[in-house]
Structure 1
Amino acid sequence: MKKILASVGIGNASVDTVLPSTTVSPGETVTAEVRVSGGDAAQSVSAIDLEVETRYRTEEGVEDATVGRMRLGEAFEIEPDEETTYDAEITIPWETPLTLGSTEVWVETELEIDMAVDPEDVDYLDVRPTPRMQAVFDAAEELGLSLRTAECSADPYGRYAGERRFVQEFEFRPSGGEFRGDLDELELVFVASAASLDVFVEVDRRGGILSEALDADERHTQFSLTDDDPDVASVRDRLREEIRANL
């Protein structure tokens, strides 16, 4: 009877992933403990899966997306009330979005149990910018640009990174500075790797109704950062140059 109840989630085994810190950055590797507790009956666990997940907006609504996945250990038996701990290293993928605005990122841990409801554990992360990303944010602020929104959206045509299903768009508006009155908004998309940060820039100029309807007020450009700890003044000058060239 206990096995039957466990198969529908009553008295099932459980899992709990313990992270030393929930504050991470893309590209970082963090250690974790995965604690498995037996339920009321012996059960066979075929695998432990850990996934880094988020959500993004589409024309139809909102979809969940798996940004990264790893499988831990081999199949094992978990006895009633048994406690087992596994060490894991979780690499935060470079394409993981930052948790700005309403963006959420979490690690989902799942026990794959044959012929039973799979127990899960969810741990939400605070994803902070890498030094290259932070330099771009600081540079925009020095130019009088304020971050208004940060949203993950579908990229069905792979405009930025090939097969990626979505990108995170950062929208800035001038709150002062030299571009106030000329610039409507600035949109940035980051494509990060260990070697560089590619910054895709969309400059929306202030235009009339006709130019906005035809998207004639939008210009696109891009630049890359390769220094591990970029100088904000240099990034500011580069960003200023790209904006001026496209106004």
Structure 2
Amino acid sequence: MMLQKYMCMLGIGSAKIDLVLPKYEFTVGENIEGQFNIAGGFISQPLKRIECDLIMHCEKREIDEVIGSSTILTSKIIKPKQTQSITFSYQLPEELPETSVNPQFKFRTRLIFHEGVKSADTDNIVIKTNDPEVYKSPVRIN
């Protein structure tokens, strides 16, 4: 049992999170509805919070910029092999930061436990705007 606890603290066999979205192409200002699916690992783990950041990647400048965040504080216990779903809702901004042509967007989701262990998930999305000069042809990255 102690071995499993230490393995979970290293991320091996710990609970996992997956952001599930109904689609992966959105327009500026759109409200996104989805869910976080959480699957328990080897042992019970007390959950502290769920963090989800909307990130814009600019290939030309080779940087990732956080343009929005959502945090859910919780005190749930994720039991071994248990599955839970938590509703996700996020309002995309009406305007996006100026950037080069074809920025890439993703949601980076993290499950934070009391012991400081993290489980992460990344979901790439496309955000379309009405500005054809800046966003000529949205590309979904994998």
Q: Secondary structure at the match of 1:93?
A: coil
Unaligned runs of 5+ in 1: 138-146, 151-169, 172-247
Provide the residue aligned with 1:9 in structure 2: 11
Q: d(CA) in 1 for partners of 2:32 and 2:96?
A: 14
Ranges in structure 2 where 5+ consecutive residues have no aligned partner: 137-142
Name the SS for the 1:119 alignment partner.
Answer: strand
> Which structure has greater strand proportion?
2
Distance 1:57 1:121 in 2: 21
Alpha-carbon offset, residue 38 of structure 1: 0.4
Partner of 2:77: 77
Percentage of matched positions with identical amino acids: 20
Q: Post-superposition shift, 1:75?
A: 2.1
Corresponding pairs, count: 134
Aligned to 2:55: 53
Asked whether the equivalents of residues 55 and 65 of structure 2 are also in contact (C-alpha less than 8 Å), the reply is: yes
Aligned to 1:121: 121
Q: Which has the higher contact order (CA 8 A, sep 6+)?
A: 2
Structure 1 runs of 4+ aligned residues shifted over 3 Å read: 95-98
Matched residue, 1:27: 29
Partner amino acid for 1:65?
E
Give the conservation status (yes or no) of the 8 Å contact 2:55–2:67: yes
Deviation at 1:8, TM superposition (A): 0.4
TM-score, normalising length from structure 2? Answer: 0.82
Which has more helix, going by share of residues?
1
Would you say the 8 A contact 2:40–2:79 is kept in 1? Answer: yes
Q: What amino acid sits opposite 2:5 in the alignment?
A: K
Rg bigger for which structure? 1
- TM-score, structure 1 as length reference: 0.49
Q: Does 1:87 align with 2:87?
A: yes
